[in-house]
Structure formats: C-alpha cells, structure tokens
Amino acid sequence: MNTSAQRILLTVVGAPAAALAVWALAVPIAGNTLTVRMGAGTQPVEPGSVLVVSLLVGLAGWALLAILERFASRPGRIWTIVALAVLVLSLLGPLGSAVGIATTLVLVLMHLAVGTVLVLGLARR
C-alpha cells in the first residue's frame, strides 16, 4: 500500500474515531444524554450511529475526491471548498434537531471533529 492510500485509509478511519472520542467524552465520561428530534418523537444518539454516519461521510468525501482527481484540473482546491461548504451546512442538523444546549454543543463538536479530520486528511497539497 502506497503512502497516499495509507493516508486516505487513516483519514477515513480517523473521522469516525474522532467523532466517537467526542461522544465518549460527552456521554459515558461526562454523563450527558444526547437526544435528537426525529419525526414526532426523540431518539438517543448512540455510538453505532455515530460510527456509521461518520464512516459513510468519509467514504463519500473520498469518492468525490477520486472523481475530481480524474476529471478536474484543480481537484484539491475544489474538494476543499465543497467539503467546507458541506461541513457548514451539516451544522444545521444539530442546530435544528438537538434536544438541549449540551446536545447541540456535543453534536456541533462531532461535526467539526469529523470535518477537520476529513478536510486535513483528504485535501491534496
């Protein structure tokens, strides 16, 4: 496996690890309960959903970057702009669905952790 592939793999795995670290600090260690509004009710934010969603986001980011590298003249720049825009838009989720200020803050931190790992790890220099 070459260095680029190793970096990508570490990045895609590192994003869920960062999100789970935030979840672990907030829930089992600090004792918070993370709850979000879903339809007419609420649902707790569980580590499995944190893992799956952040892994899927990492894989989607990697796929977009691979497509851009094949067809765009400046793939790293385009990818970084798109990734930052998606990160900013993703923050609307916690701001609109979190139950309580603690949950909002933790979910925003999770989004920022995943976004930071992906933007720094996948961006081409």
Give pLDDT, residue 3: 86
- DSSP H helices, 1-125, are 3-24, 47-71, 75-90, 92-97, 101-122
For the chain, give the number of residues: 125
Instruction: Read off the pLDDT band of 124 (50, 70, 90).
Output: low
Q: Is the pTM of this model over 0.85?
A: yes
Hunting for tokens 């400046």 — which residue is that?
Answer: 74
pLDDT tens per residue, range 60-69:
999 999 999 9
- Residues with Cβ within 8 Å of 97's Cβ and at least 6 positions away in sequence, in order, are 36, 37, 38
Give pLDDT, residue 29: 94
Q: How far apart are CA 27 and CA 46, in angstroms?
A: 9
